[in-house]
Amino acid sequence: MNTSMTVEQRKLLDLHLQLILEVNKTTNLTRITDWDQGQLLHVEDSLFGLSALLKAPEGRYADLGTGGGFPGIPLAIMSGRQTLLVDSVKKKITALESVIHQLGLQDQISTYAGRIEDLSLQQPESLSVITARALSSLPSLLELASPLLQYGGHLICYKSNPDQDELDTAKNISHKLGMEYSYHYEGYLSDNTTHRMIIVYTKVSEPEVALPRRVGMAQKKPFKS
Ligand code: SAH
């Protein structure tokens, strides 16, 4: 995985993790406090989705529910895409803004402090590609992403071991939300035990329901059929 990484990119990836572990002492961004665990479960895991991001149509990228900027910041560093980091917790976004400045990436990466549902009302169909890790179930992710994506845009979902039920429900409701399953890949991180799956959906049509629904509904009462 490291073969096509420049020295500058490696430095930025390391600095991002270092800054997050530092900030984490005062602002709760992640449960991980250890450098090696952070390299594996944050940096390397984030980059597991890089090939999917590189395949997505050109244009603006957003990481929804970004927390400490994972996978958004590593993917921005590796892809050079214009990137928007979204989180509803204001103090997380304030901490991330400082991190982005210290990385010198303020021209490439911007932030939105607010709910994903509100962003989609303000900037509908404005994105070519979205990622989400540890945010919600697949049905909720499909619903949250759909109104933000341009036609042909990709939703890249990071999952560890989705159960068959979650995959089936996502399949059953995707059409209603204007989304369609495109492809997935899976594998293990370098510890050979952490299993990861990347599942990609494409925005293909107008949703059959008005989106976004009221704030909170997508995550509290996701569509089941
Ligand atoms: N993606 C990060 C963080 C996951 S925790 C990682 O994998 O490490 C989920 C994050 O999503 C939290 O920071 C939470 O504040 C944010 N979040 C949850 N629902 C949201 C919503 N509807 N709109 C915006 N942010 C949301």
Over residues 68-97, mean pLDDT:
97
| Ligand 1 centroid from CA 92, angstroms | 10
Whether 119 lines ligand 1, by a CB cut-off of 6 Å, is no
User: Whose Cα sits closest to atom 3 in ligand 1?
Assistant: 67
Over residues 36-59, mean pLDDT:
98
What confidence score (pLDDT) does residue 225 get? 83
pLDDT tens digit sequence for 135-194:
999 999 999 999 999 999 999 999 998 899 999 999 999 999 999 999 999 999 999 999
pLDDT tens digit sequence for 9-41:
999 999 999 999 999 999 889 999 999 999 999
Q: Residue length, the chain?
A: 225
**Helices 138-145/164-174 angle, 10° precision:** 30
| Ligand 1 centroid from CA 36, angstroms | 23
Whether 72 lines ligand 1, by a CB cut-off of 6 Å, is no
| Ligand 1 centroid from CA 134, angstroms | 7
CATH of domain 7-220: 3.40.50.150
> 39: which residues sit within 8 A by CB, 6+ positions away?
17
Whether 112 lines ligand 1, by a CB cut-off of 6 Å, is no
What confidence score (pLDDT) does residue 3 get? 55
The mean pLDDT value of the chain amounts to 96
94: DSSP letter: H
Whether 41 lines ligand 1, by a CB cut-off of 6 Å, is no
Residue 183, token pair as written in the block? 């492809």
Residue 49 predicted with pLDDT over 80: yes
What confidence score (pLDDT) does residue 144 get? 98
Residue 1 predicted with pLDDT over 80: no
- pTM for the model: 0.97
